[in-house]
Amino acid sequence: MARITAFSDLFPFAHAMVPGCPEPLFTQHILQAARKYCLKSRVWRPDLDSYDLVDGTKEYTLAPTVSTVTYAARIDVIVEVRWNSETGVTNGDKGAVINWRDYSFNPNTNVLTFDTAPTDDVTSGLDVQAVLVPHLSASDLPDWVLNNYAEAIQSGALASLLKIPQETWTDKAEAEAQRLDFRNWIAKAKADIAAEYRDGSIGGSS
């Protein structure tokens, strides 16, 4: 499969299975499948752009901004939080990991709250790794997500497209096969993440 950079790039690879399907409809189902895949597997877990630590401030409002790009996405769960020092930031070191019991996160407000406030001002001293889930208004995902999980997302889209009744491409049996394939991709992603986090954890706090 050639490198994928947009939802529409998946259309040629699946079109033979849904002949006559309009591309906008296909893209809609790709987005829905991508959203479901990210939600259930938690594979989209980037490091958010750093925040400034502020002396005496416990609450920090996060945004789904990665490498200066703000995505149309929900911050679903926090994976890891680190506090750094001015020297550490200057030297490019990673900060100290904050125990997940020492903070809370509200995904409805995107507010991260610490039990104990920092005692120093540190520019770019707060680093957060989070699980992101695209909104239905999203127009795309990072191309690394699309490329690593293209087959999984495509299976999810085909599972819903093929069961649309009375279309030239309707195939309920194949739709069920694609649904099972999609579920297996999710299970594999969870297993891979659990293997990376030796204690089996796939998130720190929610």
Residue 32 has pLDDT above 90, yes or no: yes
pLDDT at 144: 87
The residue type of 12 is P
Q: Are residues 26 and 101 in the same domain?
A: no
Last residue within a domain, chosen from 92, 117, 134: 134
pLDDT at 202: 42
Q: Are residues 55 and 32 in the same domain?
A: no
The residue written with tokens 């529409």 in the block is 8
Q: Are residues 70 and 36 in the same domain?
A: no
Q: In terms of pLDDT, which residue wins out, 1 or 13?
A: 13
- The answer to whether 143 touches 5, Cβ cutoff 8 Å, is yes
In terms of residue numbers, what domain contains 85?
Answer: 51-134
Query: Of 168, 167, 170, which Cα lies nearest the Cα of 159?
Result: 170
Q: Are residues 61 and 100 in the same domain?
A: yes
Which residues make beta-bridge pairs with 53? Answer: 122
Q: Are residues 59 and 14 in the same domain?
A: no
Please write the tens of the pLDDT for every residue from 36-48.
999 999 999 999 9
pLDDT at 174: 96
- Give the phi and the psi of residue 176 in degrees, each rounded to 5: -65, -40
Please write the tens of the pLDDT for every residue from 84-111.
999 999 999 989 999 999 999 999 999 9
Band (pLDDT 50/70/90 cuts) for residue 197 is low
User: Is residue 151 assigned to a domain?
Assistant: yes
pTM recorded for the entire structure: 0.86
The mean pLDDT of the chain is 90
User: Is residue 2 assigned to a domain?
Assistant: no
Q: Are residues 58 and 38 in the same domain?
A: no
Q: Are residues 124 and 148 in the same domain?
A: no
Q: Are residues 124 and 145 in the same domain?
A: no
Please write the tens of the pLDDT for every residue from 131-140.
999 998 887 7
- The answer to whether 83 touches 98, Cβ cutoff 8 Å, is yes
Q: Specify the range with the lowest mean pLDDT, choosing from 143-147, 152-156, 176-180.
A: 143-147
